């Protein structure tokens, strides 16, 4: 019995997008290193993509060899493995909304009823799922909600009802003035909210997911957030009055080196030799993440702007960056005109590139993983948000922390402005403010990650609180059984 209390067994189900799988894998490893048993469950599709690019049948085999107790399983997301989820985004989201919960429940039931030792005691699942609190309750598990974005985004979604009540969301003619009534948020412009909260039509499948997910999270026993307390102190303090909310970021692989667990959905190109030939801080890294799309017109303007800037760059250009049906959207003759000034690749290990001394700037979509990695590597950002939380992340980077600038100050992307902004960021003189600010932010991240830092102490407190909660539940169950025996005269 004591072993059960001391060694929690968590069933961990990440959201089936690479930007969510990566921090989930690293959190699983971190918890396993603190004595947890983890059963990590990917979807068949994510598993196939990772194993195809890495040749690893069991992605956790290498970390298990180090003594960590991480078990691995897969399940369906409700769609055929061959289905193009990127090209058919709405159908994919509809499956996650309506069908996925049945597969998740079956997968949890299989682990719970397998007789595995120690017995599962909690479920860790992405906050964007619409089902975890119900499934956890059904199987008598503690529910830990894992939020992989900043606390500011969490609280905006959490207060959707307040936004609707005040006319900033969910109406045809939403207010355009600043929002100053969200607890823990001093002020935010409507254009800095997530893309879904800026839309007048709240009936899409993604809106339904957001509504149901943030209703479901109210049933969570604990919420873990991949952010740093000192970066979002007021927001986190306000959230803590409503729920057990723990800021435990940044969640990175140990030592910020390439992880023993493959998480990439595509084969990675190695840029190291090419980067080694470039002067310190002279290369711009360009990537728009693993899922978001760019319009063909915007891509051409960005490409031409990069050409005009005369700056060296590494550009991660996914084959489906515009569409799965447009595998080479670059202007004709673009690659030839660049010569050795650039390296255009389909995918790479981002932390290795950002950590290279020749990289001095990052043109990014502002995905939260990218923002955290860029801060850790002290690489200032040129921000081009595309959808969902990226607009709010941009606000934090540019307006609050001053560690980046906007790619475009108007709605339309123009090659001349792209060239000018690239030059501004990469210049020793004009980019110095961002570089100075990001050094200070990096110190904050390092301090939070030390044994006596806020994130490590918050993680320790979470583990202590979880164990106490599991033990309390187990004690209640034992007392109840004893009471039943006494009432039956045994």
Question: If you average pLDDT over residues 115-144, what whole number do you get?
Answer: 97
Distance CA 447, CA 229 (A): 11
Give the burial string for 223-257 (b: 16+ CB within 10 Å, else e). bbbbbbbbbbeebbebbbeeebbbbbbbbbbeebe
Whole-structure pTM value: 0.94
For residue range 155-197, list pLDDT tens digits in order: 999 999 999 999 999 888 899 999 999 999 999 999 999 999 9
What is the structure's pLDDT at 2? Answer: 43
487: confidence class by pLDDT, cuts 50, 70, 90? low
Residue 56's pLDDT band, with cuts at 50, 70 and 90, is confident
- Does residue 200 register a pLDDT over 90? no
Find out whether 407 and 305 touch, Cβ atoms under 8 Å: no
Residue 277 burial by CB count (10 A; 0-12/13-18/19+): exposed, middle or buried?
Answer: exposed
Confidence band of 1 (pLDDT split at 50, 70, 90): very low
Rounded mean pLDDT, 212-224? 98
pLDDT recorded at residue 20 = 97
> Cβ(50)–Cβ(265) under 8 Å?
yes
- Render pLDDT for 288-333 as a digit per residue (tens, 0 to 9): 998 888 999 999 999 999 999 999 999 999 988 888 777 788 988 8
- State pLDDT tens for residues 231-288: 999 999 999 999 999 999 999 998 888 888 999 988 899 999 999 999 999 999 999 9
Q: What's the whole-number mean pLDDT along residues 4-27?
A: 91
Q: What is the largest CA-CA distance in the chain?
A: 89
127: nearest Cα among 220, 25, 10:
220
More confident: 479 or 53: 53
Separation between Cα atoms, residue 36 and residue 38, nearest integer Å:
6
The 3-state secondary structure of 258-316, one letter per residue: CCCCCCCCCCCECCHHHHHCCCCCCEEEEECCCCCCCCHHHHHHHHHHHHHHCCEEEEE
pLDDT of residue 6: 64
């Amino acid at each position: 019995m004591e072993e059960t209390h001391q060694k929690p067994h968590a069933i961990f189900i990440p959201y089936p997008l690479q930007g969510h799988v990566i921090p989930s894998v690293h959190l699983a490893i971190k918890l396993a290193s603190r004595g947890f048993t983890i059963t990590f469950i990917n979807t068949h599709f994510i598993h196939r993509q990772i194993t195809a690019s890495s040749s690893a049948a069991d992605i956790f085999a290498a970390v298990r060899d180090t003594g960590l107790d991480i078990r691995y399983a897969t399940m369906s997301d409700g769609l055929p493995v061959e289905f193009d989820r990127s090209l058919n985004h709405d159908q994919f989201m509809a499956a996650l909304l309506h069908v996925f919960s049945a597969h998740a429940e079956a997968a949890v039931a299989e682990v719970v009823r397998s007789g595995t030792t120690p017995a599962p005691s909690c479920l860790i699942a992405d906050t964007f799922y619409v089902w975890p609190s119900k499934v956890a309750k059904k199987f008598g598990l503690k529910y830990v909600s894992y939020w992989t974005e900043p606390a500011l985004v969490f609280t905006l979604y959490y207060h959707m009802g307040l936004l609707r009540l005040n006319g900033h969301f969910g109406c045809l003619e939403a207010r355009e003035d600043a929002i100053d009534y969200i607890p823990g948020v001093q002020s935010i412009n409507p254009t800095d909210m997530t893309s879904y909260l800026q839309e007048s039509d709240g009936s899409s499948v993604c809106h339904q997911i957001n509504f149901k997910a943030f209703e479901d999270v109210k049933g969570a026993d604990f919420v873990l957030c991949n952010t740093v307390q000192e970066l979002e102190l007021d927001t986190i303090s306000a959230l803590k009055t409503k729920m057990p909310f723990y800021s435990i970021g940044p969640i990175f692989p140990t030592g910020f080196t390439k992880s023993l667990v493959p998480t990439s959905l595509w084969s990675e190109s190695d840029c190291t030799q090419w980067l080694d030939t470039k002067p310190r801080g002279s290369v711009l890294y360009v990537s728009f993440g693993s899922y978001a799309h760019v319009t063909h017109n915007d891509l051409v303007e960005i490409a031409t702007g990069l050409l005009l800037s005369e700056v060296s760059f590494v550009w991660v250009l996914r084959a489906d960056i515009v569409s799965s049906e447009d595998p080479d959207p670059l202007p004709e003759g673009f690659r030839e005109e660049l010569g050795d000034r650039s390296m255009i690749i389909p995918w790479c290990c981002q932390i290795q590139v950002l950590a290279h001394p020749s990289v001095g700037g990052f043109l990014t979509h502002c995905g939260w993983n990218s923002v955290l990695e860029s801060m850790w590597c002290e690489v200032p950002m040129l921000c081009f948000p595309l959808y969902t939380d990226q607009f709010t992340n941009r606000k934090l980077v540019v307006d609050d922390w001053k560690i980046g600038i906007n790619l475009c100050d108007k709605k339309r992307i123009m090659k001349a402005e792209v060239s000018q902004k690239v030059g501004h960021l990469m210049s020793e003189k004009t980019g110095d403010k961002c570089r100075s600010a990001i050094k200070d932010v990096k110190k904050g991240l390092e301090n939070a990650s030390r044994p006596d830092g806020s994130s490590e102490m918050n993680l320790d407190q979470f583990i202590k609180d979880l164990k106490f909660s599991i033990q309390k539940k187990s004690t209640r169950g034992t007392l109840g059984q004893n009471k039943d025996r006494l009432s039956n005269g045994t």
